[in-house]
Amino acid sequence: MLILGLETSCDDTGVGIVDARREIRADIVASQLAAHRPYGGVVPEIAARAHLEVIEEVVPSALQQAGIGFSDLSAIAATTGPGLIGGVMVGAMMGKAIAAVRRLPFISVNHLEAHALTARLTHDVAFPYLLLLASGGHCQLLLVKGVGAYRLLGRTIDDAVGECFDKCAKMLGLGYPGGPLIEQAAQKGTPKAFALPRPMLGRKGCDFSFSGLKTAVRTLIAGRELSPAFVADMAASLQAAIADSIADRARHAFALLETEGVGVTAFVAGGGVAANQTLCARLTAIASENNVVFAAPAPRLCTDNGVMVAWAGVERFRLGLVDGFDVPARPRWPLEETGAVS
Ligand code: AMP
Ligand code: MG
């Protein structure tokens, strides 16, 4: 079984080819970072055009990398949401067009499901597991019970965690995207330098909040000279506050599952923010407190890519879950509404 996956929901044009033996046969990501950098964030209109410009080139490149032709593929998978609708439409239409012309089954993939299932490709994790999905657009804790079976335990009530990293990095003059730059700057700083709030700490449930943290950073920065030492200390303090806040929420999720008698096999992290090593160290400790393993895909597979969509395609295809060409592109598509039966 060989599945080609297309990812175009944000600012990366990703094409991946994966087989059922968990082998990655092709992995191509055309990043639009340079086009969005001057604006300090993703501009939807620019993103849609940029996907359109490269998608016809990256598909044949992926086939070449895998050393195969269209006729060797078993099915085409594409992200059909959630995301920036212009980009989603580009990938979904391309996927449907290839499937129609080559008479291949089409598999509609929820972008969040692709993130959620990646650890099964990289670490062979078994269901059920606890998932932290932390990216530029999302921050959620989910119980992953099976393909298409997700239970939301908590989500951010305001900003996504990646957004918090990105906005604070911008205030600190670090550039975009902010997460990796904050992590880098933090290496030279002191995490206790600034007493930033720990949003939601100790609060009932598993929801997140990051907008207060962003405001606190803004207040502390106001009128200050952004010297390298100041920036490093602020980056380290911010990273520590985020890690503390997420760690607390994760502990609450484990406690909730324990009260309900739900056992999990692993604690998995996905999404771009899961590339953060300080955060991963904390999550590893929480997993071991709860006697389960921690698994996070390699950073390249944590950020948006086509491989994760191809893998979600493999998971769906082997359950016989294929879709018609009438599936819509959706800007909003909560994971809990991603049924196993489509
Ligand atoms: P995604 O939305 O999954 O493509 O991930 C992109 C988000 O992940 C952006 O908000 C980045 O700032 C963030 N990110 C990437 N690498 C890191 C890192 N090392 N630490 C924290 N955030 C990161
Ligand atoms: Mg993503």
Q: First vs last Cα of the chain: how many Å apart?
A: 21
Class of residue 61 by CB neighbours under 10 A (exposed 0-12, middle 13-18, buried 19+): middle
Which pLDDT does position 176 carry in this prediction? 86
The answer to whether residues 3 and 77 touch, using CB atoms and an 8 Å cutoff, is: yes
| Whether residue 180 sits in one domain with residue 151 | yes
Name the burial class of residue 219, with classes exposed (0-12), middle (13-18) and buried (19+) by CB atoms within 10 angstroms of its CB. exposed
Sign of the Cα pseudo-torsion (228, 230, 236, 239, in order): negative
Query: Do 86 and 234 fall into the same domain?
Result: no
Task: For residues 165 and 322, give the distance between their C-alpha atoms in angstroms, rounded to a whole number.
Answer: 37
d(CA 105, CA 101): 11
pLDDT, position 28 = 98
Q: Give 36-73 pLDDT, tens digit per residue.
A: 988 888 899 999 999 999 999 999 999 999 999 999 99
The dihedral through the CA atoms of 42, 169, 212, 253 has a sign that is positive
- Residues 309 and 323 reside in one and the same domain: yes
Residues 94 and 202 in one domain: no
Q: Looking at the structure, do residues 96 and 243 belong to the same domain, yes or no?
A: no
Same domain assignment for residues 93 and 157: no
184 CA from centroid of ligand 1 (Å): 13
User: What's the CA-to-centroid distance between 136 and ligand 2, angstroms?
Assistant: 7
pLDDT value of residue 338: 83
The yes-or-no verdict on residue 342 having pLDDT over 70 is: no
DSSP E strand boundaries for the chain: 2-7, 12-19, 24-31, 75-81, 106-110, 129-134, 139-146, 149-155, 266-270, 293-295
**Do 151 and 265 fall into the same domain?**
yes
Range of the domain at 166: 127-296
Within-domain flag for 165: yes
Verify that 105 and 12 share a domain, yes or no: yes
- Which CATH number fits the domain that encloses residue 244? 3.30.420.40
Q: How confident is the model at residue 274 (pLDDT cuts 50, 70, 90)?
A: very high
How many of the other CB atoms lie within 10 Å of CB of 212? 16
Atom from ligand 1 closest to the CA of residue 166? 12
pLDDT of residue 341: 41
- Assigned domain for 227 exists: yes
Q: Which of 159, 165, 167, 279 to mutate to test the pocket of ligand 1 (most atoms within 8 A of CB)?
A: 165
Output 96 or 37, whichever has higher pLDDT. Answer: 96
The pLDDT of 159-178, averaged and rounded, is: 94
Q: Which residues surround ligand 2, an ion (CB under 5 A)?
A: 135, 304
Torsion (CA) 172, 178, 179, 180 in degrees, nearest 10: -100
Which pLDDT belongs to residue 40?
81
> From the CB of residue 24, how many other CB atoms can be counted at a distance below 10 Å?
18
Q: How far, in Å, CA of 185 to CA of 170, rounded?
A: 13
Q: At residue 322, what is the residue type? A: V
Cβ atoms 266, 295 nearer than 8 A: yes
Same domain for 143 and 195? yes
Are residues 112 and 260 located together in one domain of the fold?
A: no
Hey, is 264 helix, strand or coil?
coil
Arithmetic mean of pLDDT over the chain: 96
Q: How many A from CA of 178 to the centre of ligand 1?
A: 7
Burial (CB count within 10 angstroms: exposed 0-12, middle 13-18, buried 19+), residue 228: exposed
42 falls within a domain: yes
Residue 155 counted as domain residue: yes
Query: Which atom of ligand 1 has the smallest separation from the CA of 177?
Result: 12
For residue 178, the ligand 1 atom closest to its alpha carbon is 12
80 shares its domain with 197: no
122 in a structural domain = no
The C-alpha atoms of residue 169 and residue 180 are separated, in whole angstroms, by: 9
**Number of compact structural domains in the chain:** 2
12 CA closest ligand 1 atom index: 4
> Measured in angstroms, how far is the CA atom of residue 101 from the centroid of ligand 1?
36
DSSP string for residues in 149-209: EEEEEEEBSS--HHHHHHHHHHHTT--SSHHHHHHHHHTTS-TTSS----TTTT-SSS-B-
Query: Residue 308: nearest ligand to its CA?
Result: 2
Q: Are residues 306 and 278 in the same domain?
A: no
Retrieve residue 153's tokens.
């335990």
Give distance in angstroms: CA of 26 to centre of ligand 1. 23
Q: Which of 296, 312, 329 is the last residue of a domain?
A: 296
- Ligand number, closest to the Cα atom of 110: 2
Site to substitute for ligand 1 among 132, 164, 171, 273, most atoms within 8 A of C-beta: 273
User: Has residue 121 been placed in a domain?
Assistant: no
Tens-digit pLDDT profile for residues 197-208: 999 999 999 999
Angle in degrees, CA 275, 280, 282, rounded to 5: 155
Give the pLDDT band of residue 340 (cuts 50, 70, 90): low
* Residue of 57, 86, 77 lying closest to 1 (CA atoms): 77
